[in-house]
Structure 1
């Protein structure tokens, strides 16, 4: 009887160990962190999917699932959520930012969350200077970016400086201080050097700081 039990364990234990797997999929075409919620919702409908975790920096999902679930089933669920995906890590990407009008005074001061120094030393004399603090995973940040593209198209007295904070623990975030607790975050210097800080996608405050008549 003991031998029979031992044989049973040896036969069934390996198959039980292989019952579940953990796979990584790279997402393509996301424009915000909340896009992952749609992906989770679709994957919950796939039989055998146990858990889905999203890495907003790598733009990847880690899926715990039954081994019987095919990659094609996961990729199809991601497509139903409005995105694309490929099996494996290292290929995730957000949608690229839209281009600013030709000739616009726009510079990216930090692409990777690195510190830039005092902003008042970086403002453009005799212009409104907007320091746009954003992250690729921040959906509302793209709305602010669109508004800035619209405003700068007809103005020569406006300069935009982009600051990709990456995340709230980056050197840039630490340099900017505790005021930057939410994104988007915009800092405006008028031509005289007066500073206005704007938390969130508040177009009313942004337009007022830039002297836009409403």
Structure 2
């Protein structure tokens, strides 16, 4: 049987140690909010599996045995079953709120683009009418037309400012709401974990 040379064995040992260190190196990651909850036919962990629901799905609570036990729910498509009650929350999850805000933000941006187009058209019409007014200063019809265009321009600029401020408010609100919901979901779990850890010390 052919034996390995001492130098080759040392090199292999060094490489294996490097691989182990690379695998064991700490890295910062995050807990996923994509949670799958099992729906069973009875309030027991060993009960028959019926289906599963995901975080953000809307359900109707029909009965509950307590926050630390099980709750009977009905899903959006009419299925009923039991799930672990601690996965329920009265508020939408952060992902749902962010999706709603994104949709509203897209609509607001579309309205802003429309207002910008109208603003440009109004300004162009105003510039087009101004030379005619200068040539016919006593023409009341042209004067009224210019006055109307100026009012339209002012109103459009005001609406444009309101839409931009609304978009800024939505972005700020989404950030605060998302942070609050995540904190509200994680904090009770941490408190329960600390309580169980203290009881385990006795």
TM-score under structure 2 normalisation? 0.20
Bigger strand fraction: 1
Bigger helix fraction: 2
- Higher-Rg structure is 2
TM-score under structure 1 normalisation? 0.19
